[in-house]
């Protein structure tokens, strides 16, 4: 199935052909009739999704149909007990699907490990489960939809075509952003008019996302995979470099996907939720999570953290800490069935504790307001926040807890500066690595000067010449063509 997944990579030739044909039909053939255009959009989304495995498509359609009818009946049912029952059906389906497809084998494996530690000769077999792509993303869409209908925040969607498109919108179905129905459904219900400026800006954002993914993330991957696979024989400085590179890779890969998804949405006349807001310029960990994977963070804040903080409000700061820890453990577990993700989330929750105790968790301050460069204090805050994130990402990247623990121990126990690279050809400082580090710095510099924009290539409000802007576009395009190798799967496809 991996080869089929690669057909859906936004940077692949096959996707370029698919989207070009789809785009021409979308704007020049079906644009006169909204319903026909929505039918084409749904057909394109289902074709895109079915490229991986048509059996996954059947599950997606079934989930859409169930939640479509649940929304209608939840809204029109006046009996509160029956309304609650219908809501629970949707929640059980959504959460139950996640637990079965993503975590069932994990629970069995953990159960077997416990039995073996107690010296019981019992082994429960795991199942051959085909994981539906994007299940974490479209499940959160359906859950937020029925919750909002239940609470009266939105009206149930009566048009099945609109709802099915909301769930399966192909630019975002595999790795988000996670749009809420209240923001996205109205865009499907009204006629979409081609806007040249919106389309051009979408192209710019796609270009920037491709640069981050193809040039930076995919090329850094070579080094991070080797370093994390051979951590025991490497120096502490090399291991720290590996953690730094992986943090850059993770950001470039995931935010690159988000940029491309948002850009594709704009080409089709949609405003997709923003997912990253230059997180490496955050002043503390709370600020970081307001800028990183924004659609997931805001989803869990609304539907998990806020209800928990209200339930625990009688316990003061202790209750707030407990709500944060639960929220971030769930953020970690959402990523996959591995204890590393749970520990990753717990660690990030612990990072919040000093902010809660000082009462500064919700304080926001615009960095370097009216200045070109940050102050010394702001620079220290950014560096400290990046370091905390980088250390947590070691756990996020590790294969298991033992791997993560061994990596940390090797940083502390191995010589800090050692040039022994047994079995590690290519990790010595070389021109390619230096170029990737330089381009990563360029990415951050662009982000810094464009930190108040939607993305780094929004030049229209800046006093720049046309020649300057187009030289940037050409340089990025040349870099993408030059450094593109085989198509590599996006990191968040596995989640």
Residues catalogued as catalytic:
335
Q: How far apart are the first and last CA of the chain?
A: 16
> Do residues 259 and 206 lie in contact, with contact meaning Cβ atoms separated by under 8 Å?
yes
Quote the CA–CA distance of 149 and 157 in Å, as a whole number: 9
> Do residues 104 and 127 lie in contact, with contact meaning Cβ atoms separated by under 8 Å?
yes
6: CB partners within 8 A, 6+ apart: 12, 487, 489
Question: Judging by beta carbons within 10 Å of its beta carbon (0-12, 13-18, 19+), is residue 39 exposed, middle or buried?
Answer: middle
Closest C-alpha among 290, 212, 196 to residue 248: 212
> Do residues 423 and 233 lie in contact, with contact meaning Cβ atoms separated by under 8 Å?
yes
78: CB partners within 8 A, 6+ apart: none
Closest C-alpha among 408, 490, 441 to residue 228: 408
Query: For the stretch 267-296, what's the b/e string if a residue is b when 16 or more beta carbons lie within 10 angstroms of its beta carbon?
Result: bbbbebbebbbbbbbbbbbbbbbbbbbbbb
Quote the CA–CA distance of 201 and 109 in Å, as a whole number: 47
């Amino acid at each position: 199935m991996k080869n089929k997944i690669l057909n859906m990579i936004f940077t692949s030739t096959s996707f370029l052909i698919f989207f070009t044909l789809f785009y021409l039909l979308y704007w020049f053939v079906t644009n006169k009739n909204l319903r026909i255009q929505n039918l084409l959009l749904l057909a394109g989304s289902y074709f895109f999704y079915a490229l991986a495995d048509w059996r996954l498509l059947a599950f997606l359609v079934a989930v859409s149909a169930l939640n479509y009818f649940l929304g209608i009946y939840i809204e029109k049912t006046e009996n509160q007990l029956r309304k609650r029952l219908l809501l629970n059906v949707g929640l059980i389906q959504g959460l139950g699907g996640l637990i079965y497809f993503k975590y069932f084998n994990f629970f069995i494996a953990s159960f077997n490990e416990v039995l073996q530690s107690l010296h019981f000769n019992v082994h429960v077999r795991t199942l051959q489960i085909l994981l539906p792509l994007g299940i974490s993303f479209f499940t959160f869409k359906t859950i937020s939809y029925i919750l909002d209908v239940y609470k009266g925040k939105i009206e149930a969607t009566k048009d099945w075509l609109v709802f099915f498109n909301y769930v399966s919108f192909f630019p975002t179905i595999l790795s988000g952003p996670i749009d809420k129905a209240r923001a996205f459904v109205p865009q499907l219900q009204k006629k979409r008019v081609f806007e040249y400026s919106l389309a051009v800006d979408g192209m710019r954002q796609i270009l920037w996302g491709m640069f981050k993914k193809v040039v930076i993330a995919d090329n850094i991957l070579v080094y991070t995979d080797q370093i994390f696979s051979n951590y025991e024989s490497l120096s502490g400085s090399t291991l720290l470099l590996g953690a730094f590179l992986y943090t850059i890779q993770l950001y470039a890969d995931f935010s690159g996907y988000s940029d491309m998804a948002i850009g594709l949405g704009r080409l089709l006349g949609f405003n997709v939720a923003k997912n990253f807001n230059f997180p490496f310029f955050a002043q503390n960990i709370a600020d970081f999570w307001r800028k990183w994977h924004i659609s997931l963070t805001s989803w869990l804040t609304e539907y998990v953290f806020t209800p928990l903080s209200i339930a625990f409000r009688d316990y003061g700061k202790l209750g707030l800490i407990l709500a944060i820890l639960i929220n971030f453990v769930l953020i970690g577990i959402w990523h996959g069935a591995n204890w590393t993700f749970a520990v990753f989330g717990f660690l990030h929750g612990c990072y919040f504790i000093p902010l809660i105790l000082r009462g500064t968790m919700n304080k926001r301050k615009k960095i370097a307001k009216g200045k070109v460069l940050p102050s010394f204090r702001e620079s220290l805050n950014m560096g400290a926040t990046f370091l905390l994130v980088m250390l947590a990402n070691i756990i996020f990247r590790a294969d298991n807890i033992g791997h993560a623990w061994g990596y940390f121990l090797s940083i502390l126990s191995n010589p800090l500066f050692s040039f022994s690279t047994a079995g590690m050809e290519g990790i010595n400082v070389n021109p390619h690595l230096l170029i990737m580090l330089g381009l990563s710095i360029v990415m951050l510099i662009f982000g810094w000067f464009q930190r108040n924009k939607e993305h780094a290539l929004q030049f229209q409000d800046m006093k720049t010449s046309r020649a300057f802007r187009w030289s940037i576009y050409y340089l990025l395009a040349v870099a993408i063509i030059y450094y593109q190798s085989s198509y590599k799967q996006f990191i968040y496809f596995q989640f």
